[in-house]
Amino acid sequence: MDSLLRYFDMLCLIPKAPNSISTPEILKKLQNMCYAVDLRTVQRDLVKLSASPLFPIANTENTKPLRWFWIDNSSPMQLPMMSTDEALTFKLAEMFLEPLLPPSVRSRLAGYFDLADKRLKESKFEHWVEKVGVVPKNLPLLPAEIEPSVLAVVYEALLKNRRFKATYQAIYKQPKTYEINPLGLVFRHNSIYLVATIFDYTDVKQLALHRFKDAELSDRIVSVPKNFVLNDYIAQGNFDYPVDNHLQEITLKLKVADFLKQILLETPLCTNQRISQIDDEHYLLKACVINTEQLHWWIRSFGTGIEVLEPLELREFFAFEAKALNEMYQ
């Protein structure tokens, strides 16, 4: 029994390629687990385990001491067997979360994704994933192309908490080289944005990953601006694009068509929203919201179904826009 437990612990100590561990390192870790073994015993155990097709481990052969690793494309050993619920979770993660995962993590999970596929084929859930889909709320544009080498550097910089140097081309501007101080990634619709500061400035910027031309990891450690928290930054509306770059709250009054009333009751604009009836066909919506471009896009999306009543500046803005559209389509 002691040998069996030692084998399992030994297999758990061996990393997947390209990482590896030397025989003396395995011996030291086993001794720290209170196993009474010597180097010769560990060497014999490793040779025995690697000879079995159940355990696809290998060694470097031409190094002293030998270094051991699980073969890169091998399926992970599962004890106990992966359940169908777990397999389904991995499959959904592969389908919908893969863009969020760093390349190194995706490669590590590839074996689990393959194992999940095999497990699902043996179960009643084989065709379940064909019955699940995701529909974007807005018009689905094709995603922008991101340079793979840039993506790898950005992920590594975030994982290792380090800065990187990169060439970035903003819209209508010439490419420039910056030292980027990365703070986090935000996935918005079909684009990925890096929230970061530049050089040693503290003002936070949003940099689209598809506008990076190249990137090289630096040795400098990331410096986080005082009180910065990525989720707070998002919750404050910074990715809704505040008008004039100011997070200004406004008291919004809208005259909305009857068909919008039920939609807004089911999915409110905000927690303080209030709706009252004006007449048989219209309702008055009152809400305190941040004045953002996202709010403007939302109002535009319903056309004549929404009339802005207050604030006056916003009403005048849409009146001017409506006049310009009218003249355009004459």
Whether the predicted pLDDT of 206 surpasses 90: yes
- Indicate which CATH number applies to the domain containing 322: 3.30.70
The per-residue pLDDT for range 187-202, each reduced to its tens digit, is 887 788 999 999 999 9
Whether the predicted pLDDT of 1 surpasses 60: no
Six-digit token string for 26 = 């395995």
Is 89 in contact with 141 (CB distance < 8 Å)? no
User: Do residues 114 and 168 both lie within one domain?
Assistant: no
User: Do residues 274 and 317 both lie within one domain?
Assistant: yes
Measured CA distances, 211 to 27, 45, 215 (Å): 49, 52, 11
Strands (E), the chain: 21-22, 57-59, 67-70, 162-168, 176-188, 191-198, 205-208, 212-221, 249-257, 274-277, 282-290, 306-310
Q: What is the residue-averaged pLDDT of the chain?
A: 87
Whether the predicted pLDDT of 79 surpasses 70: no
Q: Name the residue with higher pLDDT: 119 or 208.
A: 208
Handedness of CA 24, 25, 26, 32 (dihedral sign): positive
- Mark which of 235, 252, 285 sits at the end of a domain: 235
Range of the domain at 91: 84-131
- Mark which of 70, 93, 113 sits at the end of a domain: 70
User: Do residues 113 and 158 both lie within one domain?
Assistant: no
Domain assignment present for 137: no
User: Do residues 273 and 322 both lie within one domain?
Assistant: yes
- Mark which of 42, 70, 98 sits at the end of a domain: 70
Domain assignment present for 317: yes
User: Do residues 284 and 217 both lie within one domain?
Assistant: no
Domain assignment present for 140: no
User: What's the whole-model pTM score?
Assistant: 0.65
User: Do residues 161 and 220 both lie within one domain?
Assistant: yes
Structural domain total, the chain: 4
Residue 108 is predicted with a pLDDT of: 67
User: Do residues 122 and 153 both lie within one domain?
Assistant: no
Distance of CA 97 to the CA centre of its chain: 7
* pLDDT-derived band at 99, boundaries 50, 70, 90: low
What does DSSP say about strands 306-310 and 249-257: parallel, antiparallel, or unpaired? antiparallel
User: Do residues 266 and 313 both lie within one domain?
Assistant: yes
Domain assignment present for 205: yes
User: Do residues 257 and 199 both lie within one domain?
Assistant: no
Out of 2-16, 152-166, 216-230, least confident range: 2-16
- Indicate which CATH number applies to the domain containing 168: 2.30.30
Distance (Å, whole) CA 261 – CA 276: 9
Domain assignment present for 202: yes
Residue 228 is predicted with a pLDDT of: 94
Domain assignment present for 281: yes
